[in-house]
Structure 1
Amino acid sequence: YVSGGSSVSIPLIFEKLLPHGINHFRVGETLFLGTDVYNDTTLPDMHNDVFMVYAEIIELIEKPTVPMGEMGTNVEGHTFNFSNDESGRTSFRAILDLGLLDVESNHLKPTDESISFVGSSSDMIVIDIGQNERNYKTGDLIELTPDYMGILRIMNSRYIDKRLK
């Protein structure tokens, strides 16, 4: 085998611009998500919505948007700054049964656009659901769309159930 390309090579294959003799390609992102990496689009007749992640809400509580007391760093070493404009306000926070051991939250996108990620630890992700207008409750599943790196992590985790439909 002569390995000479990845997903970024797909448009070159279609345009017959690859050197002869290359016969091995690593094209996982294009195969799984239909991504035209070169042009940052989805290839015609391909779909980028074939993988979904469902995380269960294991705790849900209304909390102040600005924490009280001293702040330290989180498990990833990040510190957070809060605006005094948010002082006195509350929102609903939910803990999901998914964490950094499974996938980093920056590789997931909630399908509900009112949800934002607040933080994560090794075994949980915290989301903000605002005023909980969709009436989420403990036990509900939150639908998340993974990017390619998220798919790699989740598919390689023995702790995440996988289902084919």
Structure 2
Amino acid sequence: MLALALCAAPSLGQEDPWGLRLQGGANVARQDCDRACQQARLVCVVFSHAGSKAFRAEDLTDDRNLPWGQIDFAMLASMVSDRKDIDPSVIADGSRRSGPQVVSFADHDWVHADYDFVSGSRNYAITLLLWPDKSVTRGLRCSYAATSDPADQIRAWAGEVRR
């Protein structure tokens, strides 16, 4: 089962501190659960960034078109607002593990990157999917316990979001 959460400091429709516009809608819900559940559950946030040129997915992998250093920082910093089980005082490390690369599924091309994140004794992973949509770059970032493998759930939900 895919547990979706929109857990961010700003309210829906507000700019978050990293320049990503959060999107709310009928398919986005917040799920709160106890601390043990949060350690393993999948948390996904949909966002968009207005003002992008009419890029193709391949264009989004180029640092000249999308500042990947800033994206990396935003993905790691977003963990603090996306997940209630993260204590910012014990963040140890975080880095991009793979990507950006273009992948195809659900009849679309996506820009995909994976991140590792350590907070205290817990290891997390983040999957980032980006796609161009006219003059907007849209995205889905999902975080989860590094020991789990929710790739199928993430792809299924990404396909639903992009319909």
Q: TM-score range by the shorter chain?
A: under 0.3
Structure (1 or 2) with the larger CA radius of gyration? 1
Report the TM-score, using the length of structure 1 for normalisation. Answer: 0.25
Normalized per residue, which structure has more strand? Answer: 2
Report the TM-score, using the length of structure 2 for normalisation. Answer: 0.25
